[in-house]
Chains A and B, each alone.
Chain A
Amino acid sequence: NAGVTQTPKFQVLKTGQSMTLQCAQDMNHEYMSWYRQDPGMGLRLIHYSVGAGITDQGEVPNGYNVSRSTTEDFPLRLLSAAPSQTSVYFCASSFGQESSYEQYFGPGTRLTVT
């Protein structure tokens, strides 16, 4: 199993550009989520999904869109990039059951917006 994969690893955008960060998992997990990590701020939840076709907002959703058309994929779209979105983005997945709370994280995408 590849686990959770994210592409690209690094990306530089100009202000106003749009892009999609890809996330995929091959563990048949129902729950998937996107976090951003900034120095001194820890991980903040952007959006999450509890299954195909179901998404919800986290703590910092503004400027981001998500969709979940399959169990495996959960892309994050930046609509119009801003310098405040410079961050490291992590995708995570889990079974979403009381028998297993463990989150599996991808390697991250480091995004710089100039």
Chain B
Amino acid sequence: SQQGEEDPQALSIQEGENATMNCSYKTSINNLQWYRQNSGRGLVHLILIRSNEREKHSGRLRVTLDTSKKSSSLLITASRAADTASYFCATPREGGSYIPTFGRGTSLIVHP
């Protein structure tokens, strides 16, 4: 069963705006990852945040983790048309494993 679920399912914004997508999960985790998938391609790892971290940055990406609410958010600042893709959160499988489960994803469209 899927552990994490992204919200919203779809997001449409203009270039230069910020994009925020959220992930909620069910059970305690020790890490959470975010991946990007361009149309027709495999997933690419963006960033990992561990349970003892509250916030992490990578370029224009900012990820937060709130373990008390069992939720994470991915913020993309100053979006570009090239950021158009689907974004997935990945959490450890129930029972613990290095093979994660993925949510259904957020489809982001950035209009030039």
- Residue of chain A at shortest CB distance from B35: A103
B33 and A102: CB pair below 8 A?
yes
Within 8 A of A (CB), among B98-112: 98-105
List chain A residues, Cβ under 8 A from B64. Answer: none
B56 at the interface (CB under 8 A from A): no
**Contact size class for B?**
20 to 34
List chain A residues, Cβ under 8 A from B45. Answer: 102-104
- Residue of chain A at shortest CB distance from B93: A45
A103 and B100: CB pair below 8 A?
yes
Number of A interface residues in the complex (CB < 8 A) = 26
List chain A residues, Cβ under 8 A from B69. Answer: none
A105 at the interface (CB under 8 A from B): yes
* A16 vs B104: C-alpha distance when bound (angstroms): 30
- Known pairs A48-B99, A102-B33; A90 contacts B43 (CB<8 A): yes
Contact of B104 among A42, A96, A104 (CB under 8 A): A42
List chain A residues, Cβ under 8 A from B33. Answer: 101-103
Instruction: Write the residues of chain A forming the contact surface with B, with a CB cutoff of 8 angstroms.
Output: 4, 31, 33, 35, 40-43, 45, 48, 50, 58-59, 90, 92, 94, 96-97, 101-108
